[in-house]
Structure formats: structure tokens, C-alpha cells
Structure 1
Amino acid sequence: MNLSLRNYFNDRAPTKFPGNDRIQSNELRILVKTEVIRGSEQREFRSDFQVKRALRSWRVRTTASIDGSTTGSKSERTRQVFEGEHMLEQPRDFIGNILAVLISKPLRKPDFRVQVMRWRMVVVLETDYYPVTITFDKGVKVEHGDNPQPTIRVRASLDTIIRLVKGATSPIRALLTGGLKVKGLLRHPRATLQFYRLISSSIGG
């Protein structure tokens, strides 16, 4: 499966800047193209620090196209992957898009999809860029932003997320080494286990 994401950073002024990044694994290749223009000024952001500042400074809106072995037109494939038969809503931010693509993998399995439909919980993923809220309530909704009272709160850097995507580490190893930190584990062990199963299935772990 190949995933191509194009990111747009917008505020009141027209904006865009060029830059590319690639995340590769055996089953997933993510091509990220980022462009920003502020007025007549055009700059290229290459370093992680510059991209991090850009992500904090601009409102993010992303679109994604997915090419793979799935039959049907590109628009049909994109709709199928993101909605999971109307189960997974397409997010509008960069990190949310990555999570949605990963989560969509196990949701294609009917038996697992039925189980997830019964889940009732809210997970906040805190990254070094911005938080993302994943709501499980008769489906899955991935949103940019925080929820003040989540069932569990997971802290992970974008580097850890990329290492998980690439298969360079596993959820258990990331937990043991401190790359993943979970708040609410003792209070909500069942929800924690359910979310672990989803992420583990998403990356083939």
C-alpha cells in the first residue's frame, strides 16, 4: 500500500512551502509533501526543528490519496480505507491522517470491526507537535486537538510513531523503554488493552 499526503498550512494569508519526507516500511510508504507561501515569500523547510515550528505555527489541513491492490477507482479506494464502511471518519490533520491509515488496516476485517463498534472510550495521543483525539463510539473518529477527560492518555514523540510504522520497534518495547507512556492504565486496563490490540494489529505486531 502506498500513501501520499499533501499538507497545507493556512491562516488568513495565502501560504505554502515546499519540502518532502518519506517514511518507508515493508507494507507502507508514506510520501509527505509540504508547501508554504506567506505573501510573496517562499521558503523550504528541511530540518525537523523547522518543520516542528511550522506545525506549531500553522493550522493544518491535509488530503490523502492511497494507491494499492484494492480494486475500484482511486476515490473509491480512498473512501473505503478511511471510512472502513462508514466506520472511520477521515481526519483533517497530518498526524491524524497517518493514524487513520494505520487504524484502517485491522478495521477491514469484519470480525474485528464488529468488536471495535462496541468500544466506548476516548484516547488522546499527545505528540511533540500537537495532540490528537481518537473517539470510539459506534465507530472511530480521529480529530486534531485535546480532550480534557479521556479514558486513557498516550504520550509518544513523532519519532516513536515513525519507528512503530517502520517496524523498528514494537508497542511493548516502546512502553518498556519510555517511548510510549500511558496514563489511565490502572484505572482503565480493558480500554488500554483494546487500544493496544488495535495499534498492534495496525502495524502487524
Structure 2
Amino acid sequence: MTIDAFPDSWRWNDTIERARMLLCLAWLIRVEDTAEHRRWLKLVADDLLSTQQPCGALPERFGGAKGGHYNIPATNEEYGSGETPLIQSNGDPTTDQLYSTGFALLGLHEAVAATGDQTLKAAEDKLAEYLCRIQVRSKQLPYINGSWFRAFDYERWDYWASSADAGWGAWSAETGWGPAWITAVLGLRLKNTCVWEITSGTRIADHFRTARKQLAENDGAPWIGQ
């Protein structure tokens, strides 16, 4: 159903969905390696990578005229009144390190590990190199050194924020999001492994029945407790 609806009927027809779907499809191939599942991965990956820039950047874009979940302000009164996309129109040279590129790097890395696809490997390498080049470096402000600010303008080669996007300045960084995903995948690359491989010995299944029972309490409604 998800692939049949791709891309026009996806609720959020933006870069973020394509980036995050890569991991799901890569692991689907691990579970059931079929020609159809490989076709699904190629479909989404090709669409995502169709706009990758020579510098490695994966630009933000949206499918609808108004954007995805957050809409482009259509009037002066709406401008700056809430959260909006980073870009005003497709083609604006912006990447999102909070919601998109870290997840894309993870998805590409797992997809390469699952398939050995050298086209995806080249795209992963380009994206990793781009993220290394735009990583924050500051001796004067050590508390931001090594982080990634949310957005980057790869034409001006500078950090970016949309004035329409209330609450998100150019120096916004959420360390549990972009910096966490990006550094984790860079570490996996250095160790020549992937999430699938390092979690293959996990015993999480031992806790599944107990967790499922707890989640089913009160027919799935909020748990009242004892």
C-alpha cells in the first residue's frame, strides 16, 4: 500500500519521507530478499537521489504546491507565525540536518550493506563527505563544536534558517537528532559494519511477550495502573 501510493499520495511528500523509508526497505530486503523488494528500494532511492548535488547535498523539496505537513506561508500575515518548510519553493539550495540528511545517511548505509549496490554506495559516500564539510567547527564556542546546525545553504556555503519558520534560527541544533544519527553512521562506516550486523545478537525478542502484554492493557488505551 505504501509503495503503491508513492509518491503523490504520501501524506508528507517531502525529502524526509524518502530519507526515512530507505531504512525500512533495506531491512525488508534483509528479512525477505525478493526482486520486488529490491525494486521498491530502488524506486524510492532513485527518486531521493535524483536531486543530489555534486557537493553531496540532498536538497529539501516537497511534492505539493503548499508543502507537506507544514505549509508555505501564503500571505504576509502567515509569515513567521508558525513552523514552515525551510524552503519557499523547490530548487532552493537548502539541506535539513535535523529531519532529513542524517536519516538519509543511515538509510543509504543500511541499503548498501543489504544489497552491495555501488550506486547507493557512491551516493552515501558523497553525502557523508558533505556532512563532514558542513560540520560546525569553533574554538571560540566549544559547546557547539562538532555539532550540525539544522539547515545549510550549499550555494552560499553557509548556515541557513527561514525567517518564516518561527522558533528555528540559523544556529539551531538538536543534539539528539541530526548530530546523533550522523555521528552514529560515521562511526559505523569507520568500523565497516552496519546497524543490522551489530544488533544481530540482541536479545530484545526475549522481552517481546511481556512488552506486548503491557501495551495491550486496557485494550490499548492509556494505562491506568494498579
Task: Give the TM-score taking structure 1 as reference length.
Answer: 0.24
Higher helix share: 2
Higher relative CO (Cα under 8 Å, sequence separation at least 6) belongs to: 2
Larger radius of gyration: 2
